[in-house]
């Protein structure tokens, strides 16, 4: 089970890194693409990011759910439940806020939609950062034992 926890930690760490790059670099660059190329740029963004983050999000969800049932000794179950709740927040935000905004952007540059996307993406950024903090705390506690 510690191997499963390690895999879960690794996946969450990668997703946290990706979301920070998206939040700080990639989404703000949307404003600099220009109207003529924006629809194609958005389409390419979705085409390239989805195969990267989609499987990782599914793997994080599955490993997180498995850890709720079969957790390694010494791991506080409440921390895992908080982490699972944060996965729920991330999925809700992704599919009910970010994806609809990306759908609007497929039609072309929409500055309000870009601003909304940057704003709602902070929810995912904070949630993944909190998840990684919780998982880091678990590792810290396990190392002390």
Please report how the helices 77-93 and 111-144 are oriented relative to each other, as an axis angle in degrees rounded to 10: 170
74-127 tens-digit pLDDT: 888 999 999 999 999 999 999 999 999 999 999 999 999 999 999 999 999 999
Banded pLDDT at 1 (limits 50, 70, 90): low
pTM of the model: 0.93
Q: How far apart are CA 115 and CA 113, in angstroms?
A: 5
Range of the domain at 126: 2-144
Domain count, the chain: 1
37-51 tens-digit pLDDT: 999 999 999 999 999
119-129 tens-digit pLDDT: 999 999 999 99
- pLDDT at position 88, please? 98
- pLDDT at position 123, please? 98
Q: How far apart are CA 22 and CA 74, in angstroms?
A: 34
């Amino acid at each position: 089970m510690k191997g499963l926890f390690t895999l879960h930690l690794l996946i969450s760490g990668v997703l946290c890194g990706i979301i920070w790059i998206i939040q700080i670099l990639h989404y703000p660059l949307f404003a600099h693409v220009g109207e003529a190329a924006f629809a194609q740029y958005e389409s390419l963004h979705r085409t390239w990011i989805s195969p990267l983050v989609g499987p990782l999000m599914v793997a994080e969800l599955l490993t997180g759910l498995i850890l709720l049932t079969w957790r390694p000794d010494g791991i506080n179950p409440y921390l895992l439940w908080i982490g699972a709740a944060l996965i729920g927040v991330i999925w809700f935000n992704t599919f009910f806020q970010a994806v609809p905004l990306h759908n609007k952007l497929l039609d072309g540059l929409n500055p309000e939609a870009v601003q909304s996307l940057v704003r709602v993406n902070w929810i995912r950024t904070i949630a993944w950062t909190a998840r990684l903090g919780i998982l880091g705390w678990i590792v810290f506690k396990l190392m002390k034992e």
